[in-house]
């Protein structure tokens, strides 16, 4: 029996077999421009419908960024970045954040931290009605990585060793903000949101960025707060981390993570076969298709075959949502993006 998109996703999240593997879609803005040029229109809903994408990402805009110096921009959190040109539009590259040069704790306390009131949630209910039969994903909560971008990576790593109260202060600011943001979003949508995103990149290509002891001190307490709240709101926690984080996965499960994204395939331990073997029934997976080599340089046939493999391995008895191992990047040919969604599982 054919399922709606939402039924399909919820079945997979329950580790039950849906009628086919559910699908999600993530892309950088320049990638979207290139893809729109290829398909001949700029209607995102139409595009996702044509690709049979089952998840829709709700949009609640944050305050606009400011140009604080020629070519240097700052967002409402204090992250700073420049935009590099590509043939399809600008791509963000992070710079040292607003607190990178802080020398005393008072500078953290006195920074102009944003209020949850700054998020425009006015269209959430309408978006829910428009995508009534789709699974809905909300948010961009971060509990460690974006605090590190505001502080600067070098400062954050030194702080963890030398002045941990700085790290806890930053993580608390972000966690409290997003706890309130997610609570308000759930209220405005009458609990309709299925997945809430929590982000913190914890890995490199070869292994974790931090020790398991530092994970337990600086990341997991705040992650547990977020997952507990998400579950009280009736949703599932989708945790995003790039890199080889296999040693952390049991800790993430114990912390309440329901879905792991993007299972970046950097080593044998992050391949679908080993992940399914070790964590079937304990954790759902999201994404995984290689955005570094396969998607930009493979043929459409190779990409469709790899998507089929992920669906057959990770999607067996549910527990998987198909997608790329990161947002589709501008160097991925449009025909290769379309090939991801040609698999029939």
Q: pLDDT class for 264, splitting at 50, 70, 90?
A: confident
pLDDT for 241 beyond 80: yes
pLDDT recorded at residue 266: 75
Phi, psi dihedral angles at 186 (to 5 degrees): -65, -40
DSSP state of 117: G
* Residues 53/113, Cβ–Cβ less than 8 Å: no
Q: pLDDT class for 30, splitting at 50, 70, 90?
A: very high
pLDDT recorded at residue 267: 82
Tell me: cis bond preceding 262? Omega within 30 of 0 counts. Answer: yes
pLDDT recorded at residue 343: 73
Pick among 3.40.1010.10, 3.20.20.210, 3.20.19.10, 2.40.50.140: CATH of 5-61+103-340: 3.20.20.210
Contacts of 176 (CB under 8 A, 6+ apart): none
pLDDT for 302 beyond 90: yes
pLDDT recorded at residue 342: 86
pLDDT for 28 beyond 90: yes
pLDDT for 291 beyond 60: yes
pLDDT recorded at residue 265: 84
**In angstroms, rounded to a whole number, what is the distance separating the alpha carbons of residues 295 and 307?**
11
pLDDT for 53 beyond 70: yes
Contacts of 9 (CB under 8 A, 6+ apart): 18, 22, 54, 55, 135, 194, 321
Q: How far is CA 54 from CA 9, 59, 124, in A?
A: 7, 16, 18
Residue with tokens 């191992």: 325
pTM of the model: 0.96
Mean pLDDT of the chain, nearest integer: 96
pLDDT for 345 beyond 60: no
| Mean pLDDT (whole number) for 91-113 | 97
pLDDT recorded at residue 286: 97
Strand locations in 96-156 (E): 135-142
Q: Domain limits of the chain?
A: 5-61+103-340
| Mean pLDDT (whole number) for 119-125 | 98
Q: pLDDT class for 344, splitting at 50, 70, 90?
A: low
Q: Taking the CB of residue 212, how many other CB atoms lie within 10 A of it?
A: 12
pLDDT recorded at residue 268: 84
Phi, psi dihedral angles at 3 (to 5 degrees): -105, 155
pLDDT recorded at residue 142: 97
Q: Which of 210, 150, 142, 152 is nearest to 177 (CA)?
A: 142
pLDDT for 167 beyond 90: yes
pLDDT recorded at residue 173: 98
Percent of the chain at pLDDT above 70? 99
Percent of the chain at pLDDT above 90? 94
| Mean pLDDT (whole number) for 12-18 | 97
**In angstroms, rounded to a whole number, what is the distance separating the alpha carbons of residues 39 and 108?**
47
pLDDT for 258 beyond 70: yes
């Amino acid at each position: 029996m054919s399922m709606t998109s939402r039924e399909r996703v919820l079945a997979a999240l329950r580790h039950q077999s849906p009628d086919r593997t559910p699908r999600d879609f993530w892309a950088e803005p320049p990638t979207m421009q290139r893809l729109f040029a290829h398909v001949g229109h700029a209607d995102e809903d139409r595009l996702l419908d044509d690709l049979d994408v089952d998840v829709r990402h709700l949009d609640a805009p944050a305050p606009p960024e400011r140009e604080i110096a020629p070519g240097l921009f700052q967002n409402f959190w204090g992250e700073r970045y420049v935009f590099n040109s590509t043939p399809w539009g600008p791509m963000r590259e992070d710079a040292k954040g607003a607190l990178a040069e802080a020398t005393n704790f008072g500078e953290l306390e006195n920074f102009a931290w944003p209020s949850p009131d700054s998020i425009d949630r006015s269209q959430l209910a309408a978006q829910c009605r428009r995508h009534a039969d789709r699974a809905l994903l909300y948010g961009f909560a971060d509990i460690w990585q974006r605090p590190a971008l505001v502080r600067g990576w070098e400062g954050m790593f030194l702080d963890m060793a030398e002045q941990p109260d700085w790290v806890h202060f930053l993580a608390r600011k972000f966690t409290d903000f997003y706890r309130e943001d997610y609570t308000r979003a759930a209220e405005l949508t009458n609990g309709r949101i299925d997945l809430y995103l929590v982000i913190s990149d914890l890995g490199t290509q070869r292994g974790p960025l931090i020790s398991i002891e530092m994970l337990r001190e600086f990341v997991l307490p705040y992650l547990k707060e977020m997952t507990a709240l998400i579950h009280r709101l009736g949703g599932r926690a989708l945790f995003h981390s790039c890199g080889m984080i296999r040693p952390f996965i049991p800790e993430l499960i114990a912390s309440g993570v329901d879905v792991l994204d993007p299972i970046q395939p950097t080593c044998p331990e992050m391949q679908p076969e080993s992940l399914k073997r070790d964590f079937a029934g304990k954790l759902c997976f999201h994404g995984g298709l290689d955005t570094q080599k396969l998607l930009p340089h493979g043929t459409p046939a190779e990409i469709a075959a790899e998507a089929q493999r992920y669906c057959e391995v990770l999607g067996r008895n549910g527990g998987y949502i198909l997608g790329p191992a990161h947002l589709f990047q501008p160097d991925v040919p449009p025909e290769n993006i379309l090939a991801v969604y040609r698999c029939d599982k």
